[in-house]
């Protein structure tokens, strides 16, 4: 007994979300960088303060 199956396909429909996904990824990366920037600046200022304080003690 043989069974045959046919896959149902939708012809003419392409995935148009590829450009939207890459744009969303770039936007997410830029937003992540901007949200981390104040923490990085604060860390650098704190590090400079600690180093300058240690140099003033020497």
pLDDT of res. 58 = 81
Is 40 inside any structural domain? yes
Q: Is residue 57 part of a domain?
A: yes
The answer to whether position 49 is within a domain reads yes
Question: Which pLDDT band, with edges at 50, 70 and 90, does 46 fall under?
Answer: very high
1 in a structural domain: no
Q: State the total domains in the chain.
A: 1
**pTM score above 0.85:** no
Q: Please, what is the Cα angle at 48 between 42 and 52, to 5 degrees?
A: 145
> Which pLDDT score, from 0 to 100, does residue 11 have?
60
Task: State the residue range of the domain holding 48.
Answer: 17-58
Q: Is residue 41 part of a domain?
A: yes
Q: Please write the tens of the pLDDT for every residue from 9-45.
A: 656 565 555 555 678 888 888 888 888 999 999 999 9
Distance CA 44, CA 18 (A): 38
DSSP secondary structure of 11-58: TT----HHHHHHHHHHHHHHHHHHHHHHHHHHHHHHHHHHHHHHHHH-
Which residue has better confidence, 2 or 47? 47
Please tell me whether residue 11 adopts helix, strand or coil conformation.
coil
């Amino acid at each position: 007994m043989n069974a045959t199956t046919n896959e149902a396909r939708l012809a003419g429909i392409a995935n148009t979300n590829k450009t939207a996904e890459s744009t969303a990824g770039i936007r997410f990366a830029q937003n992540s960088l901007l949200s981390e920037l104040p923490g990085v600046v604060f860390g650098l200022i704190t590090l400079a303060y600690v180093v300058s304080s240690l140099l003033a003690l020497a």
